[in-house]
Amino acid sequence: MKLDPLRLMRWAEDVSTDSTCAKIQVGAVLVNARGQVISTGFNGTPAGHLHCDEFFSGTMSRLALGEEVFLSMHASFSEREELHAEQNCILYAPQASWAGTTLFCTWSPCFACGKVILTAGIKKVFYRTVYKQDAIDYLSRHIEMEQI
């Protein structure tokens, strides 16, 4: 089966709507060499933990806190509590299936996800929106990266 990057990116966009992050919703789809989807993931807290959009609600909402305070508090919350879409996608795929796969992400991976991607043996990443160009540059030295 031939990969249809635009269709698979739309799938990642659909998956991102399951995210409970109050700042940004990210989705990821992992596809094997035959073009079969083997896993999907979105950013959020581990199962059973307080969700970001629950934490940042009411008097703690983005609107109530103001943008600067919200972004600062969210950065701390996210670092402590949230998994990224790429991490969830890879973790939910059988480990034996990781090598040689292609990952579709609605945002380009950060450095932390980049290290996970390289360790998993993923060969190519398609992304829609740039998160950090220096992380893209780093990953591009090791695997194929393509913005679509």
Q: Which residues have a catalytic role annotated?
A: 86
What tokens were used for 30?
């992992």
Torsion of CA 78, 83, 85, 89, to 10 degrees: 180
Rounded CA separation 38/103 (Å): 10
Which is nearest to 28 in space by CA: 75, 82, 87, 79?
Answer: 87
Rounded CA separation 141/72 (Å): 31
